[in-house]
Structure 1
Amino acid sequence: MEFETWWLLVIPVFFALGWIAARVDINQLISESRTLPRGYFKGLNFLLNEQPDKAIDAFIEIVKLDPETVDLHFALGNLFRRRGEIERAIRVHQNLLARPDLPLEYQVHSQYELGQDYLKAGLLDRAEETFNRLVDTQYSAQARRALLEIYQREKEWTRAIEAAVALQESGAGGRQKEIAQFYCELAQDELVHTHADAALALLEKSLAADRKNVRATMLMGDALLSKGDTEAALLAWRRVEHQSVPHIALVAQRLMDGYRAVGRPQEGVNLLKNYLAEASSIDLLEVVFKAVMELDGVDAAKQLISDEVRRTPTLLGLDKLLEARLMDAPPGMWPELTMVKNLVHGYTQKLARYQCSQCGFKARQFYWQCPGCNQWETYPPRRTEELNVMN
């Protein structure tokens, strides 16, 4: 009985202590909120209502009245950068760095924000210098990513490889695909200067980084061809089939030219026909169509196109079919067929595009690096209409 009475006395005490603690917290919160400038809440309200211009004006007034508001400086600098007012963002972050009493943590943060300003402004030398100072700080991963972006913009592929390897070793994720492409860029430069052996050595490194890199295999064939070894080049180009069958369309013309050069054009046509049956492609079809017409005549070329359009009906295929029909059409049919052909061809020009799977950027030619988002290997080797039909 005494035990129960003791508990009845303790429980109200606990409730009272909890109520007092809550009141203290609320009073402290109210007290702190009163010390904040009125403009702070005004600016915050503008931000929440998606009025960044008015928010910036409000925050500028606070910074003028209270220059010690470091976090507000960061917010203001970011707003300027987002609006494209890079010079003002740079001044904000430079002013912070100029403070002799700024804690180390804020100094590092200010340097990182300043580097982002320089990068957005295209001042790559200053950005590189700033991010290099941050590689041994808590912003190491972000700084290395920024440096990698800078080296790609400047086409400094050797330094890009070093930056990508450093990122991998820091545990920031695999970069094999990018490293392989950087070696391809270096190899392509060597091929331009007819240094085939140097290009081959770089392409071996590219494939060591990424065995599925189609571009490296294609360039290896080009390098072997430049050395006069057509048979070895053909073997290299055929290896694309084992990496990605759809990418065969990108080497189809090389293969056909190579087989002609070694005196075995029919073998080349038969090979490409097999590829076409395995992976339909308008680009591959065009190469096979021209080769069949050259070796087997117009009728065989027309039959090839007809069969392919039935199998994969696209306007791009219809355009080729009309082209084939015009070759031996009676003179009386030419005006009508030509008119239809021109109408279809004009429309297919809009469809004959490659499209980045990352950002949707469309282009007439195939890119290994998207000009829109700068990502690597985001272009499928098929035209947009073919992809739509397949989907």
Structure 2
Amino acid sequence: MAAEAEILSAPDKELRPSSTRTPLFSRVFNFFVDLIIPDYEEGCFSLVALISLSDKTDLAFLGKDLQELGYTVVSTGGTASALEKAGLSVTKVEQLTCFPEMLDGRVKTLHPHIHGGIFARRDQQHHMEALGKHRIGTSDVVVVNLYPFYNKATSVVDLKMELRMLILNHQDVLVVVDSHDYPVLLEFLKSNGDDQQFRRKLSWKAFQRVASYDSAVLEWLWRQTTGEKFPSSLTVPLFLKSSLHYGENPQQKAKMSYNHLDADAALNYVSQFSDSSCVVLKHKTSLWCGFRCIVMFHLIKFIELNIDTNLALSYCAYRSPTDGETRMFYETVVAPNYSKKGLEVFHGKSKTLRILEAKKNETGSFH
């Protein structure tokens, strides 16, 4: 203890890595661990969840439920502060590493006392022996999401590395990157489940996020290094917004559908006119078009008298807001906006009707 006291009382004393000082450093580090976490060896960290989030949606809900399940929540700066504001207890990463965040947040969790507990294989005895030798506890759940690349690209380097490595250790550590998965994660933990398919699905989603992030980095680097418009190789991340109802015919799956092409064509028709207008079309071909404050009742009568029942699968676009008089059933309706009464009518007609709202872009055109 005399040597330890000397070190603690003289923080400015030069400490260089050497074979003679490594054991002393280890004893000092363990002294800090015992001081900060006196019950470390007694198993107070038997269940650990590491949380580091840029998007803190439902963070308090997640932290509260994890603690009720017996998890110790370990977190980084902003996330830890948000948990504390929610009245939850949290162990900060620097309490485990005895090292502060540095380099403007570029280095937060890059430390053996964090990565060791994440990457160790529970079925490998020598891995667990190494953790015990260095007094490193295991982590069971890691919840991470990334800053949008163009907002804060350099602050997520260590988190991306963790996500990559966690993909290889999903059988031991659950990795969550989407707040929509918090409820199913908690249900899984409450049931003491061991569904490897569930773990692989979460791992896949983490890898997908990292891959999308990498594609944004590639695009940014390309624009920074060349004036050419198209690179020789292009990676484009795409995200599913919604599933299509069916293909071109009801018996077909929605792998390839022209439904949205028809909706786009209808919008292009009415976008050519400055006055209030409406177009009815099928298979990208206009069946009827009206202009200037049209009386929707007359349009409906025209449809009922002159168009067969196949019109129920047609597409209708309006340049002006729609109201309650627009009573005919269509597959898809597109308009700049909808009155409350108009929406009530549409919702009352069909549960499968697609109601699309067109927004104007910078040039004033609809999209």
The TM-score, its normalising length taken from structure 2, stands at: 0.29
Higher strand share: 2
Higher normalized helix content (fraction of residues) = 1
Structure having the higher Rg: 1
Greater relative contact order (Cα < 8 A, sep 6+): 2
